[in-house]
């Protein structure tokens, strides 16, 4: 058991981990995602043999609609690589499904916990067959496609099948020999950077010698022929290793090795992912080869955690309620032990600790993660509890408020129960300045003209406890920046407002032509003649008062404005002529200007790519402004195939061809896309524009694999469409 001393801190953060699952959306089901298997046999005498075929499949990433084969087709081939059609049913033994079990992942270390979920189903087919003596013996073969696309040590894994085979030599036929069998299936999950030490040895009922060696797994049928009947003829090609992997470097890190005599498998992987491994078990009797059993399996190398008791708490606190968040990792059960100075203890078995102590004093806190287990961990801490209630309190009064200065009075009246006030600080902030006053009950301060004031009080006790209180005073803007004269064209509405809206009472007089409430800071006016307005601003219980005058001069309206578009609907790429009413000595401004041939004449040629509202603003010689608009419609293609295209594969290998995954189509305005790897980790996200993914995450190239995406497409006709599917990354 490891003991830890937790460093106390005043505050701590809670980190919440979100886990997400990756979903696959296959367009064609042709595989069960085979991850391993082997064939063994047992001689019964009189040329009778029991054949056992064990197959393992991925039940997390594999398709549920493609279960184990029923039946499985086992072929029998002779020394000349031809099918022996006299065996079973024209050379093929039909082996029917009998069971379907789920294997539990077991780690090498009992104190390690896997962080990624895996699922493996296994089944064993067995049947009896008559095998008469043949020179050269038999090769028993089962083939299936396909392997997991996430395998990182072979090329094109999603299109790579598997061939499981066992050789029965002519000596085995003559001696009624039974093949050796492996004792255990290798662990399904391996912790990255942890050493592999696994007894991969087998047992032989006749006591023959066994030699172990790493061997390359055999390739199998393609995706378009996933379950051949009969299996293809030997010889079978080996899988193609992806650089830098090879038979001498199956996993990254300390190379995987197997002892030829003992079958002890060792190595230390340092790269996350799935790796295909092959082990050959050769059986000898008096130096003569009897059989060869090939095992093909997959290692899942992932992250692991260790049990660790961690929490944070202050050295002291001024409340009798103790609440502590638990920051421990991996552990599932916890025991909190609180002990006072008299040795009395309180225990809780929750994840977090929450307890009201009866009195002040020093308390000792112990957290045990995974109690009653060999992998338990413990953390200790000491905390001193004070029972105090601190109440900051102050009042303020605006004694004087005018255009030049403000006189403010602050009266402090805080309290502390069970102790005395050790210190008190009052701060008054204004215009980015702060004035501090220490241990003063009453403060009278004169400030220059400001619009708001911050008052902050902090008090502390002799025990070290403290608390604070702050208040903000909003003052009215006594100095108005209104223009003294405002010009307004006839039939227009003018909005009048101060530069800064403050919590004051406003009154506008007269109310003639005011179209909104005259008791608001902002008013709208639509006068029919020139007029003068006076606004009164009152704040802080009528202490602060200000006035301002606004003169509105009305300019009569002299024109009507219109726009003609010819034609008023166009296809994308075509033009339309926009013509505004012509008036001599008037200036013209068109907008938006990006798709116009000119913007300061009464005519313009428009070439928009989407339907656009065009505005023209004219100004008379005396400054009156008028605006009108027209919508020019652009007919767009619908937001469906074939006007948009979503690739399902790309190859970011730097050859200049298909290096980016990108949604294509002239109708597409922008996309929102999220791409996940098979473990549900988000590797790419874009929420604007046209996404372009180069197959990298955090600056690093991602391995070839099948990735899932969620896609929302926004098209030119303002419609949206959603898609989800798979992307195959090929390097």
Q: Are residues 106 and 47 in the same domain?
A: yes
- Assess whether pLDDT exceeds 70 at residue 96: yes
Q: How many domains does the chain have?
A: 6
Residue 218 has pLDDT above 70, yes or no: yes
Same domain, 505 and 453: no
Q: Region 24-42: what's the mean pLDDT?
A: 66
Is 371 part of any domain? yes
Lowest mean pLDDT among 114-118, 346-350, 717-721: 114-118
Report long-range pairs for 347-356 (Cβ below 8 Å, ≥24 apart).
Answer: 351/326, 352/323, 352/324, 352/325, 352/326, 353/311, 353/322, 353/323, 353/324, 353/326, 354/321, 354/322, 354/323, 354/324, 355/321, 355/322, 356/320, 356/321, 356/322
Q: Dig out the tokens for 375 from the structure.
A: 């992998």
The mean per-residue pLDDT over the stretch 406-432 comes to 87
Asked if residue 432 and residue 316 are part of one domain, the reply reads no
pLDDT given for residue 66 in this prediction = 59
Mean pLDDT of 306-333: 85
Domain co-membership, 376 together with 396: no
- Residue at 479 is within a domain: no
Whether residues 467 and 585 fall in one domain: no
Residue 48 to residue 127: CA distance in whole angstroms: 10
- Segment 533-577, tens digit of pLDDT: 888 877 766 677 777 788 888 877 656 789 999 999 997 788 999
Render pLDDT for 333-372 as a digit per residue (tens, 0 to 9): 899 999 988 888 999 999 999 999 999 899 999 999 888 7
- One-character DSSP codes across 553-577: EEE-------EEEESSEEETT--EE
More confident residue, 538 or 588: 588
Q: Is residue 424 part of a domain?
A: yes
For the chain, what is the largest distance between any 2 Cα atoms, rounded to a whole number of angstroms? 122
Residue 189 lies in a domain: no
Tokens of 71: 């039946």
Run of H or E residues at 342? none
Q: What is the mean pLDDT of residues 51-80?
A: 84
Backbone phi and psi for residue 157, each to the nearest 5 degrees, phi listed first = -65, -30
pLDDT-based confidence at 111, cuts 50/70/90?
low
Q: How far is it, in rounded angstroms, from Cα 390 to Cα 19?
A: 43
The mean-pLDDT minimum among 12-21, 210-219, 300-309, 424-433 falls in 12-21
How sure is the predictor about 420, in pLDDT bands with cuts at 50, 70 and 90?
confident
The pLDDT assigned to 16 comes to 24
Does residue 22 form part of some domain?
no
What's the pLDDT score for residue 459? 93
CB atoms within 10 A of CB 145: 24
Which CATH number belongs to the domain containing residue 697 in this structure? 2.60.40.1220
* 269 within domain boundaries: no
Domain identity same for 469 and 599: no
- The whole-angstrom separation of Cα 417 and Cα 440 is 20
pLDDT tens column, 252-292: 899 999 999 999 999 999 988 889 999 999 999 999 999 99
Compute the C-alpha angle 670/676/681, nearest 5°: 130
Identify whether the C-beta of residue 336 lies closer than 8 Å to the C-beta of residue 348: yes
- Report the predicted TM-score, pTM, of the whole model to 2 decimal places: 0.46
Do residues 432 and 540 share a domain? no
Q: How many CA atoms lie within 13 A of 335 on its CB side?
A: 12
pLDDT value, residue 112 = 63
DSSP string, 314-337: -SEESSSEEEE-B--BS---EEEE
Per DSSP, the residues of 660-696 read SEE-B-TTEEEEEEEEE-TTS-EEEEE-SS--EE-SE
Shared-domain flag, residues 211 and 325: no
The pair of three-digit structure tokens given for residue 398, joined into one six-digit string: 């605006």
Task: Tell me: do 120 and 39 sit in the same domain.
Answer: yes
Tell me which residue has tokens 């902090």: 458
Instruction: Identify whether residues 625 and 669 lie together within a single domain.
Output: no
pLDDT tens profile 610-623 = 889 999 998 888 77
Q: Tell me, yes or no, whether 399 lies in a domain.
A: yes
Is residue 94 located within the same domain as residue 151?
Answer: yes
How far apart CA 493 and CA 484 sit, in angstroms, is 18
Nearest to 393 by CA among 470, 489, 474, 330: 470
CATH number for the domain including 430? 2.60.40.10
CA–CA gap between residue 65 and residue 68 (Å, rounded):
10
- Contact between 587 and 619 under an 8 Å Cβ cutoff? The reply is yes
Angle made by CA atoms 674, 675, 676, in degrees to the nearest 5: 125
Domain end position, chosen among 423, 439, 474: 474
Predicted confidence at residue 38, as pLDDT, reads 95
Which domain, by its residues, includes 678?
A: 649-729
């Amino acid at each position: 058991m490891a003991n830890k001393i937790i460093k106390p801190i005043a505050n701590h953060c809670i980190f919440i981990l979100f886990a997400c699952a990756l979903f696959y959306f296959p367009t064609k089901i042709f595989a069960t995602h085979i991850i391993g298997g082997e064939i063994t046999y047992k001689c019964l005498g009189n040329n009778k043999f029991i054949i056992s075929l064990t197959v393992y499949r991925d039940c997390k990433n594999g398709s549920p609609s493609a279960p184990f084969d029923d039946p499985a087709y086992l072929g029998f081939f002779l020394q000349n690589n031809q099918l022996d059609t006299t065996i079973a049913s024209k050379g093929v033994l039909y082996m029917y499904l009998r069971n379907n079990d789920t294997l539990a992942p077991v780690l090498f270390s009992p104190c390690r916990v896997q962080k990624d979920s895996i699922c493996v189903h296994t089944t064993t087919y067995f049947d009896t067959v008559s095998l008469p003596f043949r020179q050269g013996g038999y090769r028993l073969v089962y083939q299936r496609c396909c392997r997991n696309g996430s395998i990182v040590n072979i090329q094109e894994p999603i299109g790579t099948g598997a061939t499981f085979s066992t050789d029965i030599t002519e000596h085995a036929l003559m001696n009624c020999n039974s093949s050796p069998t492996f004792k255990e299936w290798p662990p399904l999950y391996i912790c990255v950077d942890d050493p592999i030490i696994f007894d991969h040895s087998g047992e032989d009922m006749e006591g023959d010698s066994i030699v172990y060696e790493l061997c390359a797994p055999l390739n199998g049928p393609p995706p378009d022929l996933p379950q051949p009947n009969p299996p293809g003829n030997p010889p079978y090609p080996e899988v193609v290793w992806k650089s830098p992997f090879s038979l001498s470097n199956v996993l990254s890190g300390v190379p995987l090795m197997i002892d030829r005599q003992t079958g002890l498998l060792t190595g230390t992987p340092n790269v996350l992912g799935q790796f295909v491994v092959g082990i050959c078990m050769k059986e000898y009797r008096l130096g003569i080869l009897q059989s060869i059993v090939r095992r093909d399996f997959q290692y899942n190398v992932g992250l692991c955690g260790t049990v660790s008791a961690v929490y944070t708490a202050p050295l002291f606190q001024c409340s009798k309620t103790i609440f502590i968040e638990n920051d421990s990792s991996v552990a599932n059960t916890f025991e909190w032990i609180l002990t006072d100075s008299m040795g009395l203890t309180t225990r809780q078995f929750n994840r977090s600790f929450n307890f009201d102590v009866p009195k002040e004093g020093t308390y000792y806190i112990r957290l045990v993660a995974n109690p009653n287990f060999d992998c338990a961990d413990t953390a200790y801490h000491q905390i001193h509890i004070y029972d105090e209630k601190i109440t900051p309190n102050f009042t303020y009064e605006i004694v004087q408020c005018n255009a030049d200065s403000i006189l403010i009075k602050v009266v402090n009246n805080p309290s502390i129960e069970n102790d005395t006030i050790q210190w008190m600080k009052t701060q008054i902030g204004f215009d980015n300045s702060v004035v501090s006053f220490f241990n003063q009950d009453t403060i009278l301060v004169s400030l220059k003209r400001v619009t708001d004031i911050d008052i902050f009080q902090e008090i502390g006790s002799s025990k070290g406890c403290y608390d604070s209180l702050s208040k903000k005073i909003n003052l009215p803007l006594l100095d108005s920046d209104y223009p003294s004269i405002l010009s307004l064209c006839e039939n227009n509405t003018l909005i009048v407002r101060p530069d800064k809206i403050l919590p004051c009472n406003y009154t506008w007089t007269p109310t003639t032509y005011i179209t909104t409430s005259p008791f608001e800071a902002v008013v709208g006016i639509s006068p029919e003649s020139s007029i003068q307005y006076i606004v009164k601003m009152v704040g802080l219980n009528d202490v602060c008062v200000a006035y301002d005058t606004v003169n509105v001069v009305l300019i009569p309206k002299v024109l009507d404005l219109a726009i003609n578009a010819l034609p008023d609907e166009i296809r994308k790429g075509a033009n339309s002529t926009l013509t505004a009413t012509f008036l001599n000595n008037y200036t013209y401004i068109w907008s938006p200007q990006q798709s116009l041939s000119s913007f300061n004449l009464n005519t313009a040629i428009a070439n928009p790519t989407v339907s656009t509202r065009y505005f023209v603003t004219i100004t008379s010689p005396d400054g009156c402004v008028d605006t009108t608009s027209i919508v020019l419609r652009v007919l767009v293609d619908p937001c469906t195939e074939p006007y948009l295209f979503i690739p399902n594969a790309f190859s970011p290998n730097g050859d200049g061809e298909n290096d980016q995954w990108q949604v294509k189509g002239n109708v597409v305005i922008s996309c929102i896309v999220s791409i996940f790897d098979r473990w549900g980790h988000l590797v790419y996200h874009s929420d604007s524009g046209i996404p372009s993914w180069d197959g990298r995450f955090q600056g690093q190239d991602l391995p070839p694999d099948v990735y899932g995406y969620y896609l929302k497409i926004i098209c030119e006709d303002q419609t949206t469409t959603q898609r989800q599917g798979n992307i195959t990354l090929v390097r």
